[in-house]
Amino acid sequence: MIQRLQNIDANVFIARKNTRNMLQYRWRKEAEATMKKRLGIDIDGTVTCPSTFIPYLNQSFQKELTLAEITQYNLAPLYGTTEEEMDQWMEQYEAMIYEQAPLAQHALEMINSWKDEYELFYISARGKHLYNITEQWFKKNGVHYHHIELVGSHDKIAAVKAFDIAAFFEDKYDNACDIAEQCGIPVILFDTPYNQGPLPKQVIRVNTWIEAKQQLEQWFHTVQENISL
């Protein structure tokens, strides 16, 4: 009889412990979900209009290309020049173009609507020497930011992981796929002629910033629902 009671007590203890562990896990996940998430946002072709460089390129290389004809990220073949010459052109003109870059449609209102809900971290391939010009552009255009990181290359994986980014916004096809697959986060890819191709499950193609906001909120809402189950 005593042994039987001891077994019952042991089973009750284990059941209570398992319940407590399960509740602690759920509480921790709910706390994480309610913390202010950090969004990673590319700048060029994402916050700025994807056709920003085209008028300058057309003038320099005597072409009349439109955005619809920019079907690859490597611009040198499209403008009948070498990659080395294109790099030299970028070094000469990029600062001036970045200063005057127009915003993508609806980017300002959508991004600024998040300023109190999320932390806005901009992660760009621009070189670090362009930081002052970049920050001044944000201030001049009234685009809210919490941090600007210029990594100097198209490889943003390390920065995304280091800053614990919860979702990313991008216009470059391979960047979007790599970030989604290696960081395990949703990536919103803004549709352009130069970023076509099959997408991993966590990459969501959108046409506008309005749609981007809808997709982001839907994704986070689904995650929250799964945690609450």
DSSP letter for 41, please. E
| Statement: residue 58 has pLDDT above 90 | yes
Q: Which CATH superfamily is domain 36-52+101-228 in?
A: HAD superfamily/HAD-like (3.40.50.1000)
For residue range 98-137, what is the model confidence (pLDDT) as tens digits? Answer: 999 999 999 999 999 999 999 999 999 999 999 999 999 9
Q: What 3-state class would DSSP assign to 37?
A: coil
**Residue 25 to residue 43: CA distance in whole angstroms:** 37
Most confidently modeled of 19-28, 88-97, 219-228? Answer: 88-97
pLDDT of residue 220: 86
More confident position, 222 or 97: 97
Percent of the chain whose pLDDT exceeds 70: 82
Cα-based torsion angle of the residue sequence 60, 172, 132, 97 in order, rounded to the nearest 10 degrees: 20
pTM of this structure = 0.83
